[in-house]
Structure 1
């Protein structure tokens, strides 16, 4: 649980970031929309999604080459936690991340989450790009790893929490298509591997199939959704599929993402395999993603 002064700090930080974003000369959307010349003669489809995240998971998009993105992902507590916790506003989890476009196809990123005090890193490669009259979809490959840095007592759970046992991995193929100027959809076959699980019945490997989409309903606003279905041999009693819905708001060349989800964590190793919230029973975490980009190199 966070002290009220901590909450005020994050609200102030968010306000400053949004103010800076409105005055930025190089916008994140401009970088995402920037496309290499198409040597095949087919025009590249731009901005399938308007950010590198949809809700919790990655989108098919990557930062522009030479662009560093500072990403804040924030989740308050459960909305059904009652008035004593101000319906979740007294509680919060957060992830701070950096993402960098090495080329127009290759990107890397790192982050730190308050959930499990986890550090994570990932690499993305844009394998295919949708083209009008040509390639029908975009495909981005993603590999990530995370480490749990929580302190454990020697007899906490009977396990020795060595470095290797703290590691988890995720591999994804992000397959997306912009169906129309207002509708985009994405499919995410996913494998999560955990070196250590706390129960004998829990699998080390979790196989999931993610579905996501974005539907614009005004010039600057869009409805988004995201769902990760765990395959039957990857299901554990008491855990549920991660589900989320939200609104993208384009402001000054940036996108401010508001959403509700039944997962309080923000990296795939956690929200795909350990979500316990019941979405339709009110176990909802209200949160947001906001990004600020910095152009470190131009003309790549």
Structure 2
């Protein structure tokens, strides 16, 4: 009888100790969960704000097929159907080597230019006890112009056809609706299109996104370019528009004073002025495909 009493007492002590240990473990896990950093996602819905890149990258083993289109100037009049008779086009493919690193290639009919790009996300905004206030990405591109010169006898060497661009993309999602980004930029043309222009340009871009609904947002961006005393007929690029997300597609409809769709063109060679009505209607279409190895064949992400 005494033995069973002692066994019951021992069992009660062990049960109490186990319960206390479990409670302590749960408390510790809750504290760790409270201090964990939560990544902020969807700062922007596309790898572009409008013309310029955003901090977003293509997901690992995903392919983004992009069609960018700019019509002619709205002030070209009814004869040109207010620009709809003219068009500038870029086709591009961008692939996510990882969730942070993407590469891409594109071809524009503007100057028959080929562009090659890479973007790496070095920092992701997080919330929680260990907050990271901003997301940061590094972007670099090279563009080669293949269009023949309109000036008889003028020839360019291969290196004189090249343009390089480097950017630091810094963005913050302030709320579920508002995201802003600043983009310090360095652009170098081996040989500018105009002799009066300078090869090296510094620029600063600013852009943002205001979410209106689950699938619609208003976007805007502006690039200020420092040219010093260079006498050229170029303007700073300004664009405003709307993003519409429909599953695997993102449609970007916008107005801009830039005809070109790569950094060489819209930062360095924007010839249109909003004040004069030199505005182009345009759109970007992004279609993302999943190329995950676990699937037997490439499948579209709807």
Q: Same fold (TM over 0.5)?
A: yes
Residue from 111, 132, 135 that aligns with 1:138: 135
Shift of 1:152: 2.8
Whether contact under 8 Å (1:203, 1:234) holds in the other structure is no
Q: State the secondary structure of the residue aligned to 2:228.
A: helix
Task: Supply the distance in 1 between the matched residues of 2:98 and 2:231 (Cα, whole angstroms).
Answer: 40
- Backbone CA RMSD of aligned residues: 1.7
Instruction: Find the counterpart in structure 1 of residue 37 from structure 2.
Output: 42
Shift of 1:199: 3.5
Task: Supply the distance in 2 between the matched residues of 1:75 and 1:148 (Cα, whole angstroms).
Answer: 19
Residue from 119, 123, 138 that aligns with 1:128: 123
Residue from 236, 242, 262 that aligns with 1:241: 236
Change (3 A) 1:113 1:46: same
Structure 1, unaligned runs of 5 or more = 1-37
Shift of 1:42: 0.4
The one of the two structures with greater contact order (alpha-carbon pairs below 8 A, sep at least 6) is 1
User: Is residue 108 of structure 2 the alignment partner of residue 113 of structure 1?
Assistant: yes
Instruction: Find the counterpart in structure 2 of residue 281 from structure 1.
Output: 276
Whether contact under 8 Å (2:113, 2:145) holds in the other structure is yes
Change (3 A) 1:140 1:298: farther
Whether contact under 8 Å (1:191, 1:205) holds in the other structure is yes
Written as runs of structure 1 = structure 2, the 5 A alignment for 1:1-300 is: 41-133=36-128, 134-152=131-149, 156=151, 159-233=154-228, 236-298=231-293
Which of 176-185 and 217-226 deviates more? 217-226
Q: State the secondary structure of the residue aligned to 1:86.
A: helix
Number of residue-to-residue matches in the alignment: 259
Whether contact under 8 Å (1:142, 1:173) holds in the other structure is yes
Whether contact under 8 Å (1:205, 1:234) holds in the other structure is no
Task: Supply the distance in 2 between the matched residues of 1:143 and 1:157 (Cα, whole angstroms).
Answer: 33
Whether contact under 8 Å (1:65, 1:102) holds in the other structure is yes
Post-superposition Cα deviations, 1:199-234, rounded to whole Å, max 9, x if no partner, equal: 443110011000000001223211100100012528
Task: Supply the distance in 1 between the matched residues of 2:135 and 2:100 (Cα, whole angstroms).
Answer: 12
Structure 2, unaligned runs of 5 or more = 1-32, 295-302
Q: State the secondary structure of the residue aligned to 1:237.
A: coil
TM-score normalised by L of structure 2:
0.82
Shift of 1:254: 2.8
Change (3 A) 1:93 1:213: same
Change (3 A) 1:245 1:111: same
